[in-house]
Amino acid sequence: MRLISWNVNGIRAVDRKGLYDWFKNESPDIFCVQEIKALPDQFPLHLKNTPNYHIYINSAERKGYSGVATYTKQKPKAVKTGFGIQKFDSEGRTLITEFDDFILFNIYFPNGKQSQERLDYKLEFYDTFLSYADNLIADGKNIIVCGDFNTAHNEIDLAHPKANENVSGFLPIERAWIDRFIEHGYTDTFRQYNEKPDQYSWWSMRTKARERNVGWRIDYFFVNNSFLSNVKNAFILQDVLGSDHCPIGIEIE
């Protein structure tokens, strides 16, 4: 089974750049999309009625903002659109789909750069998610978490770590949360297969950073450690254009 995650930075914008043809050719079993910036009735029809896929959309209450969508060939046993907490769920950041062997979280985690208030919101969102995930693990479930975490974990995960030590996305408090996430029994799948530097998933559009590969790895697939043996590959599709992020993926059995 092949799973792909992509922050598209506007599904209508990336559709004009060939998303649908790429999606058809790639044909993943599950495709998780973040930052759709569209209500369900604003989706291009071919992306709302894609053959062979069930589609679930969780849009933000605010138009043109945030939002996630999950495409899956296999119909889930259950679907939830958030944690049951209004201040988080209103931004349309979470889709939780349950299958026989795992529960999949498709999440667009908040960005903390705008203000201290948004950084606090981001950290509280992190903790709310972790508590929710840990409770599922305690119930004997397996978990896959994918999406834009909006934090680079280690120095290897961004081009200029020293210059960004005081920038949200690489703050010690944000990185420490990922450490704690891992300590709770979850694994960054990509680093199980690739320990090389210069492996990024996001590049600033303002500085032509992608052409120079001056990027950040802020998009992830995590799984709980008990499920790790089911993961057979993890990858970044750096050559796929259309957004300021590129797709990432895993293969599981």
**Rounded to 5 degrees, what are φ and ψ at 183?**
-65, -25
Tell me how far CA of residue 203 lies from CA of 118, 175, 210, 215, in angstroms: 21, 19, 5, 5
Are 181 and 40 within 8 A, CB to CB? Answer: no
Q: How far apart are CA 221 and CA 146, in angstroms?
A: 4
| Beta-sheet pairing, 202-203 with 103-108 | unpaired
Range of the domain at 163: 2-252
Residues designated as active site: 148
- Number of folded domains in the chain? 1
Higher pLDDT, 93 or 207: 93
Q: In the prediction, which pLDDT does 206 show?
A: 87
pLDDT tens sequence across 26-77: 999 999 999 999 999 999 999 999 999 999 999 999 999 999 999 999 999 9
Average pLDDT, the chain: 98
Q: Residue 65 belongs to a domain with what CATH number?
A: 3.60.10.10
